Amino acid sequence: MPDTLQVNINARGKEINTYDAIVIGSGISGGWAAKELCEKGLKTLVLERGRNIEHIKDYPTMNKAPWEFEHRGSITKKLREENSLISQAAGYGEDTAHFFVKDKDHPYIQEKPFNWIRGYQVGGKSLIWGRACARWSEFDFTAPQRYGYGIDWPIRYNDIAPWYSHVEKFIGVCGTKEDIESMPDGEFLPGYELNCVEQHLKEVLWDKFKRYYVSGRWAHVTEPGEIQKKQGRYCLNRNLCMRGCPFGGYFSSVTSTLPWAKQTGNLTVQPFAVVHSVIYDEKKGKATGIRVIDANTMKATEYFANIIFVNASALNSNLILLNSVSNRFPAGLGNDNGLLGKYICHHNYRAGTGGTFEGYRDKYYKVRKPAECIIPNFRNVHKQDTDFVGGYVIFSGASRETTSERGIQPTIGADFKKAISEPGGWTAYMYMQGETIPKEANHVRLSKDKKDQWGIPQLITSVGYDDNDDKMVKDFLAQGKAMLEAAGATITYEYDNHQAPGLDIHEMGGVRMGRDPKTSLLNEWNQMHRCKNVFVTDGACMTSTGNQSPSILYMSLTARAVNHAVEEMKKGNL
């Protein structure tokens, strides 16, 4: 690709390529931007750098039995060697590899170890996400200000609460109302029942620690409401979600928001569209469009719109904005303060523990539950009560031991058949999802000399852990062990795997929200301070990480930002 792009626009190109709004990315937040914009009557173009995916048609492994896979679901040595990075991702396997990017397909530079997990297709990573959907509480939004790390959020829980409800009602979130201060209730479909050991843990944790143990708030249709029925979604509890679900049991852009946007007649989806940059018009003082490179032909095309939503997933959104240079913004779009690409953060998933339980041999469970249990954050909630700042939630569950956990080796004959006909004993696990603290040193930037196959500068990642993360891990391991042992478990493992940032797949920041243009890139509406018709509502916008999973917050921020953008457009302010 030459340094000077040859743009593919004919005499009527600008007219043909003009829309009311453009959305970069078709994943969790991009799909929501498309739905909300199209419902409000805007002709909307969604740009997706990967291939097209159609519900059911493009789920090649959705109904395969284990013995129908050539390697019984295992990853071959060759595949692992060719994809040493992506094959570490949670959920990656022979049955799901088609939704993950191959390592060679988009190179980047790791100044510090960072495992960037990506899914390039219509639907993005919404096809392979974990689906945890607990709400942030007021404590999450105020923690940076209260404890003196990062900058203050420009919004509070009450600002986003109605938008949480708006999103939950549409996507379908299961859960149980518990009245927990650090994890607010939402609009729930019926939650999954706790099995006998999970119920035992719930009772022990409350009796001995005054801590909650609850059924997870999950983007899963346990019992479809009217809006999920209209989307044609229900669940058979197969727990094969990441293959692509033919029943639409879990929320994805492909099963929910994009089809909903399409039925308005206002949606255009353009796959194989690698976004090069946002076009800024200095005379108009705003962004006017997007420069795109065709992933297959390498031809460049420009598309134009009044409103632009950047939802390419956190690091790619940073990359696009950094590459959007002009005379007005030589360091990247809206980057007057030099903070674009800085304060990148993630979630700390390094540690876990588990054990076995005696008894309960006469008990089992009804379904292959595609949701975990949650122990809401109990650290530094009302005040700082540890030697670290931030908090962590714990994901947990209990089940009967598998044959491999019991040490049963595959063989043939009556003895093997007898051994596998009876389930093993009970086990339970816990693992942490910890807040990490935004730091200027944790950043991404563009390479000055290395480009990818589309002629776009490669992204350099420079993100690491710190002493605060180590202290949090130590605390979790002590608390996890104490809780399991209090419930009568024999601890069989505990670990701090020191995994590289990125494997949590919750990268955040770089284009953070804030009140002051001197210290942030976006205002309280996810609108760029210095380029008012550009909105960023994916993980790049995050001011801090909180301790709950962030995806439903992205969706809620997106719906709220679209509402604001359309109101501003009607007033003539965009």
Delineate the domains of the chain, giving CATH numbers in brackets.
1-117+134-172+262-348+437-463+506-574 (3.50.50.60)
Residue 11 has pLDDT above 50, yes or no: no
Residue 6 has pLDDT above 60, yes or no: no
Determine the Cα–Cα distance for residues 485 and 354; give it in Å rounded to an integer.
Answer: 10
Q: What is the pLDDT of residue 298?
A: 96
Determine the Cα–Cα distance for residues 82 and 435; give it in Å rounded to an integer.
Answer: 32
CA-based nearest residue to 219, from 198, 199, 245, 181: 245
Strand partners, 348: 434
Q: How is residue 486 annotated by DSSP?
A: H
Give mean pLDDT, residues 311-323: 98
Residue 10 has pLDDT above 60, yes or no: no
Residue 7 has pLDDT above 70, yes or no: no
Angle at CA of residue 471, ends 470 and 477, nearest 5°:
90
Are 48 and 271 contacting, i.e. CB atoms less than 8 angstroms apart?
yes
Least confident residue range of 62-76, 125-139, 281-295, 406-420: 406-420
Those residues with Cβ within 8 angstroms of residue 195's Cβ, 6 or more apart along the chain or in another chain: 363, 364, 365, 398, 399
Determine the Cα–Cα distance for residues 457 and 118; give it in Å rounded to an integer.
Answer: 18
Q: Does residue 367 or residue 387 have the better pLDDT? A: 387
Are 512 and 149 contacting, i.e. CB atoms less than 8 angstroms apart?
no
Are 378 and 547 contacting, i.e. CB atoms less than 8 angstroms apart?
no
Residue 416's pLDDT band (cuts 50, 70, 90):
confident
Q: What is the pLDDT of residue 2?
A: 38
CA-based nearest residue to 355, from 498, 489, 215, 543: 489
What are the E-state strand segments in 140-285?
Answer: 173-175, 188-190, 214-215, 267-270, 273-281
Determine the Cα–Cα distance for residues 23 and 536; give it in Å rounded to an integer.
Answer: 10
pLDDT in tens, 60-119: 999 999 999 999 888 999 999 999 999 999 999 999 999 999 999 999 999 999 999 999
Distances (CA, A) of 246 to 59, 130, 236: 8, 17, 10
Share of the chain above pLDDT 90, in %: 91
Distances (CA, A) of 279 to 273, 285, 458, 521: 15, 11, 19, 17
Give mean pLDDT, residues 332-336: 98
Those residues with Cβ within 8 angstroms of residue 130's Cβ, 6 or more apart along the chain or in another chain: 90, 91, 505, 549
- Three-state SS letters, 325-382: CCCCCCCCCCCCCCCCCEEEECEECCEEEEEEECCCCCCCCCCCCCCCEEECCCCCCC
Tokens linked to 76: 């071959």
- Three-state SS letters, 380-393: CCCCCCCCCCCCEE
Q: What is the pLDDT of residue 86?
A: 95
Q: What is the pLDDT of residue 13?
A: 63
Identify residue 22 by its one-letter amino acid code.
Answer: I
Q: What is the pLDDT of residue 15?
A: 79
Give mean pLDDT, residues 210-216: 98
Q: How many CB atoms lie within 10 A of CB 422?
A: 9
Torsion sign over Cα 302, 303, 309, 312: negative
Residue 1's pLDDT band (cuts 50, 70, 90):
very low
- Whose tokens are 């679209």? That residue is 562
Distances (CA, A) of 320 to 339, 353, 452, 458, 505: 15, 39, 13, 11, 19
Q: What phi-psi label fits residue 338: left (phi over 0), alpha (psi between -120 and 50 degrees) or beta?
A: left
Are 132 and 372 contacting, i.e. CB atoms less than 8 angstroms apart?
yes
- Three-state SS letters, 420-462: HHCCCCEEEEEEEEEECCCCCCCEEEEEEEEECCCCCEEEEEE
Q: What is the pLDDT of residue 296?
A: 96
Length of the chain measured in residues: 574
Helix, strand, coil tally for the chain in percent (to 5) = 25, 20, 50
Determine the Cα–Cα distance for residues 177 and 520; give it in Å rounded to an integer.
Answer: 36
Least confident residue range of 61-70, 403-412, 539-548, 549-558: 403-412
Strand partners, 197: none
Helix boundaries (H) for 179-231: 196-209, 226-230
pLDDT in tens, 441-456: 999 999 999 999 999 9
Give mean pLDDT, residues 34-46: 98
Strands 531-536 and 307-310: parallel
CA-based nearest residue to 253, from 265, 269, 240: 269
CA-based nearest residue to 103, from 81, 86, 128, 91: 86
Determine the Cα–Cα distance for residues 574 and 570; give it in Å rounded to an integer.
Answer: 8
pLDDT in tens, 145-183: 999 999 999 999 999 999 999 999 999 999 999 999 999
CA-based nearest residue to 511, from 574, 438, 436: 438
Determine the Cα–Cα distance for residues 563 and 557; give it in Å rounded to an integer.
Answer: 10
CA-based nearest residue to 574, from 521, 506, 528, 520: 528
Distance from the Cα of residue 228 to its chain's centroid: 21
Residue 252 has pLDDT above 80, yes or no: yes
Strand partners, 294: 273
> Mean pLDDT, the chain, as a whole number?
95
- The 3-state DSSP class for residue 65 equals coil
Those residues with Cβ within 8 angstroms of residue 264's Cβ, 6 or more apart along the chain or in another chain: 38, 39, 41
Residue 567 has pLDDT above 90, yes or no: yes
pLDDT in tens, 462-513: 999 999 999 999 999 999 999 999 999 999 999 999 999 999 999 999 999 9
